[in-house]
Structure 1
Amino acid sequence: MASFISILLFLFTVLGGTSPAVSQSSGPTEPMCYDWGESSEGSVFVVEGEVGWLSCPLFSHPSVYNYTSTQSAGHNLFWYHLPEGQDLEQPITYSSRLSKDRERLWLQPTTASDTGQYICMLRNKSSCSKIGIRLTVLRPDDATRGVKCALPVAVAPTEKIVPLQKGATLDCPDLQDAIKMSESKPEVQWYFASALKNVETCDLYSSWRGYRELKENSLLIHVMQEEHQGIYYCRVQYQRRNQTLNFTRSINVSAILPLSLPKQPSIMNPTNDQIFTVKTGKEVRLVCRGHLPFVLNNPSRHIWWTVDGQTLDKFPDRFREENRTVTEHFRDWTLESVLVIQNFQSKDLKREFNCSVRNEKGFDTRRAQLEEEVTLPSVELGCGLGVTLLLMLLLFVVYHVFWLELLLLYRSWFGTDERHTDDKEYDVYISYARNSEEEQFVLSTLRRVLENELGYSVCIFDRDSLPGGTITDETLSFVARSRRLLVVVSPGYASQGSQALLELKAGIDNMALGGHLRVILVQYKPVRRQGWVRELRRARVALALVRWQGDKSRELSSRFWKRLRVELPVRRVSSRGEDEEESSKEVGLMRLYSQNSTNSQTGLISNTVKDPQQVLNSAA
């Protein structure tokens, strides 16, 4: 009796039930019965119209209860049915449809009314134990949901793993049980739903080709290939008491890589030379990826982080782990584990962070190398860059608007006064069309401003030439003794045979050969391109053209005078009185010098322009 009580206590611990409830059985002479509640193994599902059976959970642990030994000890097994929605259990009346075979209760076939709880009771004259198990009968429509072949399957598929290039034999699950109950040899039909095709139909065995063969009721796969993966359905039919009975089972066949390939795990990331850049006070994420091949006998695989040799459960505050499956190739996994460190601290740089992987065939680990990120003053850099760009834009706008003023300011500070570097007498020689409106503009405006306001020494042939001289020689002499040749361009300028054309020709030749004279074009009135003589058309490409705009240009601060001052020699307007005093002293000396050197300079230019009349003719 003591041994029996110990067996009951052991059964209680194995089944995971609560304390047994003691109940009185219906019979007057029957002993008190230990009720172990409902089995923790879960419900049994059967398709309506198919064969089903229930195994008494008391015999699920042969070390506690064995059917043969209990029968020898005088125990009898009884079955009771508690229909759905009722409170009173009913003893099962055995028939051709409901029968008992050892520890099993067979339903051949099942009906919708069979749904409910079934109680198996094991008792003799002195002891009694009972336990419940639930049966759920599915309608065929409900059992075919999610099944590609539209076959009613109530039982979860069994798993079959086959290495590539190897063979395997598929036997229909529970076929041997059907053989015991059938009166003739059962027949098995095989169907296949490929895992590579997303279709709702499947193929009967008769349409299969290559590497698979049906041998009696078993299916042989001679050489496993990728396209052989999928769900294999087997439908068993047998005869019993002139009635055709059936049930359907399924097998999920998966391929794995050949067993000859290495199965040791390895860490893909971090690599040996990889360095994680971290920043104190921020969240740091260390990513580890490992390759873990599938091992046939023991498929368990793990990836994890350790901190200073300890798992993360020792650091619950700032360290946590996020794992996921990246890829799966024939059940070989690439797993990723992310170590998340909250509020990274400087002392964490001294810690040892290791990522490890393990499967049945081996172990691999790798340390994560950390480097503190150099903190850059992003706000200061951004503000500095913004201010720099703003200043550059402002300078660009200022230069674009005030470039003439800036250029004049630069010349006044750093420009070289040409009076100290050459022996020229005049700053400007003005060439214009005589006896016209331009002459009034030259004498009353250009001359006045250049001499009186800007302090330049101006040469005008009609004013500064001595009577009795030769016009050609005097003209060439004046041009040679000037630093700039200012040509006032107008519709009447450079008429054929005019003196203005001679002045223009001499200035251009002097500029081209000697480089001691610069020609400035001042457009007094617009001139059509056809009105420009050949020399002006050629010079216009390379020479500066300053346009007079009437009343807008009369003020000394106008753009015309600023543009003209850029082309003229450097003079400082503020020192005009000083320049006049110095010029008055130099004029006498230069006059005396010019009288002595006129002939020599005229001869020098005459080498360039040998015949003045030839110049006039060529210009015409």
Structure 2
Amino acid sequence: MQTCRLQSSRPMIFTSCVLWKLAQTMYLLYLLTVGISAFPIQPEEQTVVAENCQFRGKHFKTIFKVEGEPVVLRCPQTWYWLGTSANPHVSLTWRKNNSAREVPGKEETRAWVQDGALWILPAVQGDSGTYICTIRNASYCDEMSIKLKVFEKTEASLPVISYPQILTLSTSGSLVCPDLSDFILNKTDFKIQWYKDSVPLDQENEKFLSVKGTTRLLVHNVSVVDEGYYSCVMTFAQGGTRYNITRSIKLRINRREEETIPVIIFPHQTILASLGSRLMIPCKVFLGAGTHSTTLLWWTANDTNIDNAYQFGRVTQGQRLEYSENNENYIEVPLIFGPVIREDLTTDFKCVVRNTLSFQMLHTTVKEAATFSWGIALAPLALVFLVLGGIWIHRWRKHRTGKAYGLTALKTGPRDFQSYPSKIKELK
């Protein structure tokens, strides 16, 4: 800078000095830019995601499996991340028991992740625990856990690992070998062997029929003796090794529910109520020995559903009540007014009952009850008192008149009687 100042008297030399300094400054800025680019700064959003991952909670279903068989755990929140396995910008990892180490580890040979699902084959009791699935992309991350319990293959574990299924007495139905979709995807040549109480079911038996290419076992003419434990076994090959996949089923037999024609026995067609009062009208239906479950019962107002007709809830439909009296079944649904207004007096209320055998309705009208009046109630009593009062006054006046006459006669009688002797004496 000093050289530039000393030579400032020479315009050409001074100009070249300024250009030189400008070039040096630009070179320094270039070096600084290159140095900064060599150390990329992670976006703030990435750092937040890495440290904070939203936990969605524990899956409601616990997975029960038997040791020695394949186990496939699906990420519970994949319904939210549709197409996760096919999206290259979404990563899916598994951890066990809140450990920071991912599963499967590098040394693990029995477990791997395939299409986002964690495969364990074969499973051992030590695999039991809570597994956490983490799904993340560039801007979001969430986690959800699922619990796995691997049991020893014994009869004692049957009540825990069995899938409950129900058939109806004296009908034909089918059992389904459950939870096999991961092993029979796009396959139709699989074979399932069925057992009842560990005894193989003969395919030539007319009672049971295993439907080829499906997971169903048809049961004809279900009887009480068909109740019990069933198992279905399918063979699965992986890495040159064949594994059995077993599912246990606990079959329960329900009695067949009979339907009857419902009969509305209450209310009457006219219900009396006072304006401004609260009112409850129960609709009572007689079913006899019929079932409650297939019979529907509800109220309408001018052929409109109660909830729609009274959106502010002044008139509501109460809870359904099911009960039995003397081994006969009834159902009730009340119509509740709070309070009754004049508009209700012109509304057509209907109690409607329906099942597969019948459809019935009963019209009900609310009428204003006669208002009680003390004036009207006391009028006859006042008339009685008036009549009695008139009679008493009449008798009292008659009594007074008779008494006055008696006293007058008593006073005047003796005087007249005493005057006669004096006059006689004078005549003499």
TM-score, length-normalised on structure 2? 0.50
Larger relative contact order (Cα-Cα within 8 Å, sequence gap ≥ 6): 2
Bigger share in helix:
1
Bigger share in strand:
2
TM-score, length-normalised on structure 1? 0.37
For the pair shown, which has the larger CA radius of gyration, 1 or 2? 1
